[in-house]
Amino acid sequence: MSKTRGPTGSGNKGEVCPDYDKNNKKVSDRETGLQCEICEIWFHAKCQTVPEETYKLMQHESIHWFCYGCNKGIGKVIQSLAGLQARQDQLETRQQDMEIKVQELEQTVGEPQMKSHRQMKANLAEETLVKSSERSWVDIVAQEVEKKIR
């Protein structure tokens, strides 16, 4: 909120209004003055063509005020800030989406790996059983052949 000064306002005494003709007259506590929220310089309300009614309203309401010099550039600054905020929001949304996808991938990849691991164990056990059975069968056949040869 901008500061106002005058019969009901407050502020630093003796600050110079750069717009008061070329004399750089100081803004006193008895004069209607406004402090720019950007450059923080005090100006006479009349030097900035602020009507008396507007000045009175500014003393009671939360109204932002910028001097002419700062007001020229503030539009661009606000647009830039709005653009940055939109980009920040997009990045945060994308980050949240990526976090969800990573969790899904971890679950998806994790489950097949577990299945694969279980399957490999089962296959190994089956191969071991088959090999031991084959050996036993081979051993049995070999024994039977030896018996018949002798």
Three-state SS letters, 114-137 = HHHHHHHHHHHHHHHHHHHHHHHH
Given a contact cutoff of 8 angstroms between Cβ atoms, the answer to whether 35 and 11 are in contact is yes
Q: Could you state, in order of their start, the residue ranges of all structural domains in the chain?
A: 3-66, 74-129
User: What is residue 29's predicted lDDT score, i.e. its pLDDT?
Assistant: 80
**Selected residue with higher pLDDT from 45 and 118:** 45
pLDDT in tens, 78-94: 888 899 999 999 999 99
Q: Is the dihedral of CA 129, 130, 135, 136 positive or negative?
A: positive
Reference 38, options 69, 17, 9, 66; nearest CA is: 66
Percent residues over pLDDT 70 in the chain: 69
Q: What is the DSSP letter of 50?
A: -
Given a contact cutoff of 8 angstroms between Cβ atoms, the answer to whether 1 and 63 are in contact is yes
Q: Check whether 35 has a pLDDT greater than 80.
A: yes
pLDDT band at 7 (very low <50, low <70, confident <90, very high): very low
Domain 3-66 has CATH 3.30.40.10: yes
User: What is residue 19's predicted lDDT score, i.e. its pLDDT?
Assistant: 60
Q: What is the DSSP letter of 34?
A: E
pLDDT band at 13 (very low <50, low <70, confident <90, very high): very low
Q: How many CA atoms lie within 13 A of 59 on its CB side?
A: 18
Given a contact cutoff of 8 angstroms between Cβ atoms, the answer to whether 14 and 5 are in contact is no
pLDDT in tens, 82-139: 999 999 999 999 999 998 988 888 787 776 666 776 777 777 777 666 655 555 666 6
Count of C-beta atoms within a 10 Å radius of residue 18: 15
